Amino acid sequence: MHSIDLIERTFPGRRSDLKRNILREALACFNEVGIEATNIETIRARCDTSVGAIYHHFGSKEGLVAALFFAALEDQAVLRDRFLQAASTAREGVVALVYSYVEWVDAQPDWARFVFQSRFAVSNGPFKDELIARNRQRNRQLQDWMSSADRKESFSHLPAELIPSLIIGAAESYSRAWLSAKVKQSPQAYRELLAEAAWNSIGLGQH
């Protein structure tokens, strides 16, 4: 998987060529100099298009940031659900969540960097209500999987809102370190250890 594939999957069709180009260049700008330091004119110059075209497709810089953020989260969720569909037990599900997370970060480092730097802006900006709605919809399949009769017991002792942090917390922390070049090994290289740590935080020694 490459960044270009993610954009084409999210915005397919020949009529979306300009939109995809704007998104690619915006992602590069945001990762190179940061969201705050990037303005529409910077993106326009790299796209060789007009400011009007950018506003037409995305409304504002905040709209552009949100479009990229939502595209990344949806792509991540598709991979997560594919892993989860192959899991039967609670332990297999925890492993699937960790494995899918680190595989996505390993395959999409530019997008992962952007997600980390843009999360606060989207969560507190004009698209926060849309983010809440999208998160609720995206996590419905995960909640359904966890609440099935043969798996519910493994998670019932924990507050539902805490479970994702317990499962992904270590993988996310290590991924941040890898993306900022503080460590050399990809999180994918440690997926077994990260999954074991996640299960230990959830399963209380259950096997």
What percent of the chain stands above pLDDT 70?
95
Q: How confident is the model at residue 135 (pLDDT cuts 50, 70, 90)?
A: confident
- Residue 94 domain boundaries: 3-203
Q: Does 19 have pLDDT greater than 50?
A: yes
pLDDT of residue 138: 80
* CATH number for 96: 1.10.357.10
Residue 12: DSSP 8-state: -
User: How would residue 4 be classed by pLDDT, with cut points 50, 70 and 90?
Assistant: low
pLDDT at 203 over 80: no
* Tokens found for residue 21: 């180009």
Q: What is the pLDDT of residue 8?
A: 85
How many domains is the chain partitioned into structurally?
1
What does the longest C-alpha to C-alpha distance in the chain come to?
A: 58
* Average pLDDT over every residue of 144-173: 84
The pLDDT tens digits of the residues spanning 24-36 come to 999 999 999 999 9
Average pLDDT across the chain, whole number? 89
70 vs 2: which has the higher pLDDT? 70
Q: Given the structure tokens 């969201």, which residue do they identify?
A: 35
- The whole-number pLDDT of residue 172 equals 97
